[in-house]
Structure 1
Amino acid sequence: MPVNPDLVGRVFPPTPPYVVGREKVREFARAVFADDPQHTDPEAAHALGYTDVVAPATFAIAVAEQTLQQLLAEPDSGIVLARTLHAEQRFRYSRPIVAGDELTAQVVVTGIRTLGGNAMVTSDTEITDAAGGHVVTATSVLLVGQDDA
């Protein structure tokens, strides 16, 4: 089954809140070799005006991942994980993510482009804080290979 073109414009339900933990930020920073002290040391973050450690820019994927799972689980999507590559990722921030944030994410499929039987599925995940303020938009592009059938 090819990727369903009716996915474009589909908005998925918001995810449950994700509480950003200090240790999760530290672990992520180590994993991506973000060695600036603001990512691991609360005092260094405070000196920069933040309430707690600051997550590296790509940390938003930990929150957005929940929305990509929703998209992949959609029964009529035509997206088969075994034929899917994460082709591109971009982030547009209003403010940094800091430990203690309670974030909710919601994804919308913004485009599907067909290329020789393959499809490029673009989605935007809006991540907001507990007050509903925009924190970051994560744009993902999935490359879905053609069906072998």
Structure 2
Amino acid sequence: MAITSEHAGRTYPATEPYQVSRAKIREFARAIGDDNPSYAGPNPVAPPTFAFVVASNAWEAMFADKELGLALRQVIHGEQRFDYTRALRAGDEVVGRLTIDQVRLRGAAEFITTTVDVRTTKGEPVCTVTAQLIHNREDATSKEVER
């Protein structure tokens, strides 16, 4: 099978809860080279792009969906947007629920727009992560490699 526009609207179950910790916020801020003091101390908030961690966990369900025929190795991450209701904070326990919003086919490329709704495990909205992924339908693994 292959992903089509008919898959728009498909929503996957929420991810396993993810515990946002001071250590993870510190590691993430260090990895992106951001020394903003609000990411440190006893009550830090997470950098805005930290929600990518939760979103990428939610994407796993879509890539595991055999009906879609997607291969992560054939994906280019095109665009991403974060729309916050409130900042992620140390101590938050959150889940992400992915919805496929739109699928457009252009030759061998599939343009897939997804939204991940990030909420606390108590249901409080935190943010929405919207991403466009470009999937190359041509299966590179089926081509012989010349030696």
Q: What is the TM-score of this pair, normalised by structure 1?
A: 0.88
Question: Residue 145 of structure 2 corresponds to which residue in structure 1?
Answer: none
RMSD: 1.4
SS at match of 1:78: coil
Tell me the CA shift for residue 83 of structure 1. 1.5
**Corresponding residue number in structure 1 for 2:113:** 122
2:11 counterpart of 1:20: no
Aligned partner of 2:128 in structure 1 is: 137
- Structure 1 residue runs of 4+, over 6 Å off? none
- 1:121 and 1:19 map into 2 onto residues whose CA distance is 28
Range that drifts further, 115-124 or 101-110: 115-124
What is the match of residue 6 of structure 1? Answer: 6
Amino acid paired to 2:13: P
**Which residues in structure 2 correspond to 1:14-93 (within 5 Å)?**
14-42=14-42, 52-93=43-84
Match of 1:47 in 2: none
Quote the offset at 1:86 in angstroms.
1.2
Letter in 2 for 1:117: A
| Cα deviation, residue 123, structure 1 | 0.6
* Offset of residue 116 of structure 1: 2.5
Q: CA deviation at 1:3?
A: 2.5
Q: Distance in 1 between matches of 2:95 and 2:3?
A: 27
TM-superposed deviation, 1:94: 0.3
CA shift, 1:57, in A, is 0.3
Normalised TM-score (structure 2): 0.89
Choose from 101, 104, 126 the match for 2:95. 104
Greater CA deviation, 1-10 or 31-40?
1-10
Contact 1:4 1:78 survives alignment (8 Å): no
- Residues 78 and 133 in structure 2, CA contact (< 8 A), matched pair in contact too: yes
Contact 1:109 1:122 in 2 (8 A): yes
Shift in Å, 1:115? 1.8
SS at match of 2:78: strand
> 1:45-80 CA deviation, whole Å, 9 max, x = no partner?
xxxxxxx11100000011111111111110011212
* Identical-pair percentage: 36
In structure 2, stretches of 5+ residues that fail to align are 143-147
Checking the alignment, whether the CA contact within 8 Å between 2:79 and 2:132 is kept in structure 1 is yes
